Amino acid sequence: MITRYVKVQIAVFTVLTLIATLLIVFYYVRVPQVLEFGRIAVTATVPVTGGLYPNANVTYRGYTIGTVTDVDLDPKGVRIRMALDEDHLPPSGSRAEVHSVSAIGEQYVDFVPQDPAAPPLADGDHVPLALTSVPVPTADVLQNTDDLLTSVDQQNLTTVLDEFADAFRGIGPDLGRLVDNTRLLVDEADKNYGPTEQLINDFEGFADPQLATSDSIRNWSRNLASFTGQLRESDPELRSVLTDGTRAAQQADGLLRDLSRNTPALLGTTEVLTRLAEAYNAPLEQILVVYPMFTAGSLIVAPESEPGIFRFNFETNVNQPNCVEGWIPAGQPGGPRNAMETGDMPLPANSYCKLPQDDPTLARSARNLPCFEPGSPPGRRAATIFECRGSGFSPTAAGRLTLRPETGLNDEPAFEPLGAIGAVSTPAPPSESMTLDGLMSVPQPS
């Protein structure tokens, strides 16, 4: 008969066996995963296997989320089939990168997210070749390293090592301080991790314009190379300039010393002339415009191609009476004098016609000169700068008696001045009579 103690032992052993069996089935053998319960199938295309094999791990952010179920050839490379846990799916659009645990370790597939906010991968999704990568084969790395070491000349390498030994001999304390300061630099960088990360993230915005202007940078580099090449070709000339530069500097120094006394006065006068030119810009511009026209007219009167020829026409007109308002009367000092007196005599100040500016009998005179002085109102006309800046021109005479053309005087039309004062008036000859023969002929009585 089985005692109660033995029954308890058998029950405990049975429970332990059941627990161990469940652990073996679900934790070690992973029967649900093998039967792909709670998993989805995802495929990826890689250029080569990269040492990958079935049952290799698949990770996401360093956490194992599945295994490789099959590795097979594909028209574009190698197709990898993976089974991923439904509870830990990477976002769609992630990169599938094949890595090695170590130089001689096993390979695994690691998903690197491109957009963490993207929806997770779904059953049957495929990672294209453009979003996959494989590590460089270890054999290639070893072969390239061997080629590099073989290409180094042993004697030169020995020389380099000896020079390094000489260079680092006795600088142990300095290297210790360098290491300590490097550690302090790393600690300070760790404290400023946030700004450093922001700088790295913002670097893309700085690098993109550089990539966009890469053609311009290449053109600038070519132009710089051309410039430096020209400098190399012009080396003798540049050396001569540098050699003769001392003598030229001495000559320039002597010239500056000679001009040191007169230069300030010259610069001061230049400033005054500049201000005057700025103030009288309009009349100077008018002179520059009219003078060529006057010169061209003089060449028409006396053509250079026809020496001895002087072309001009005489025309008789009845002028308006001279302006005497504003001038010194005859018989007084400064007034009109005898025509036979040809000696120099100063012109009295403030002598110009002082008729009103709108008097129709005389438009020309100093009273109608435009005012260009700074501070004068726009459009003002006056004879002196004081009138331009002050209250303006003030006439001293009320004006002359003028007649409209339709008004008669002594039964003669007003536009016939000789008839208006009682003289004999004759009408102007017609245009067809304005010839040399017509003007030289004696008029016939009517």
What pLDDT digit, counting tens, does each position of 283-327 carry?
Answer: 888 888 888 888 887 777 777 777 877 777 766 666 666 788 888
Bridge-based pairing of strands 107-112 and 126-127 is: unpaired
Tell me which residue of 104, 56, 101, 103 sits closest to 78, measured CA to CA. 56
Q: How far apart are CA 316 and CA 82, in angstroms?
A: 119
**pTM given for the model:** 0.33
From the list 142, 67, 77, 68, the residue with the least C-alpha distance to 103 is 142
pLDDT recorded at residue 57:
92
Instruction: Quote helix, strand, coil % in the chain, to nearest 5.
Output: 45, 15, 40
pLDDT higher than 90, residue 44: yes
Burial of 76 (0-12, 13-18, 19+ CB in 10 A): exposed
Q: Are 397 and 325 in contact (CB under 8 A)?
A: yes
Name the residue among 333, 325, 317 with its Cα closest to residue 352. Answer: 325
| pLDDT at residue 422, as a whole number | 42
User: Which of 69-73, 79-83, 212-216 shows the lowest mean pLDDT across its residues?
Assistant: 212-216
Q: How far is residue 286 from each of residues 241, 289, 297, measured CA to CA in Å?
A: 47, 5, 16
Give CA separation, 279 vs 368, 371, 388, in Å.
19, 11, 13
pLDDT band at 37 (very low <50, low <70, confident <90, very high): low
Q: Please state, in angstroms and rounded to a whole number, the distance separating the CA atoms of residues 114 and 93.
A: 6
Q: How far apart are CA 422 and CA 415, in angstroms?
A: 13
pLDDT confidence of residue 119: 92
Q: What is the mean pLDDT of residues 34-52?
A: 82
Query: Where are the strands (E) in 36-141, listed by range?
Result: 39-46, 57-60, 63-74, 77-85, 95-100, 107-112, 126-127, 132-133
Element (H, E) at 188: helix 172-191
Greatest mean pLDDT among 23-27, 111-115, 400-404 lies in: 111-115
- pLDDT at res. 407: 45
Hunting for tokens 């009367």 — which residue is that? 329
**Average of pLDDT values for 264-285?**
81
Q: pLDDT-derived band of residue 103, with 50, 70 and 90 as boundaries?
A: low
CA distance linking residue 345 with residue 251, whole number of Å: 52
> pLDDT tens across 365-391, in order?
888 888 877 778 888 888 888 888 888
CA distance 377 to 384: 14
Give the pLDDT mean for 56-73: 90
Q: Residue 134 corresponds to which tokens in the numbers above? A: 């494989």
CA distance 425 to 231: 89
For 82-102, the pLDDT digits (tens) are 999 888 899 999 999 998 887
**pLDDT number for residue 431:** 54
Identify the pLDDT of residue 278. Answer: 81
Distance CA 253, CA 275 (A): 31
How confident is the model over 273-283, as a mean pLDDT? 81
What is the pLDDT, as a whole number, of residue 408? 43
3-state secondary structure 269-293: HHHHHHHHHHHCHHHHHHHHHHHHH
- pLDDT at position 417 is 45
User: Does the pLDDT at position 43 exceed 70?
Assistant: yes
Closest residue by Cα to residue 95 from 113, 107, 77: 113
Radius of gyration of the chain (CA): 55
Task: List all residues 6 or more positions away from 359 whose beta carbon is below 8 Å from its beta carbon.
Answer: 399, 400
Express each pLDDT in 104-162 by its tens digit. Answer: 668 899 999 999 889 999 999 999 999 999 888 777 888 888 888 888 888 888 888 88
| CA pair distance 367, 383, nearest whole angstrom | 4
Band of pLDDT at residue 80, cut at 50, 70 and 90: very high
Position 193 pLDDT exceeds 80: yes
Residues 257, 258, 260, 266, CA torsion sign: negative
H helices of 213-234, where?
214-233
| Residue found by looking up tokens 């989320």 in the block | 65
DSSP letter, residue 439:
H
**pLDDT digit string (tens) for 236-254?**
888 888 888 788 888 888 8
Average pLDDT along the chain: 80
Q: Kindly give, in sequence order, each residue whose CB lies less than 8 Å from that of residue 88, ignoring residues fewer than 6 positions away.
A: 60, 63, 65
Of 53, 128, 42, give the one whose Cα is nearest residue 89. Answer: 42
Q: Is the pLDDT of residue 177 over 80?
A: yes
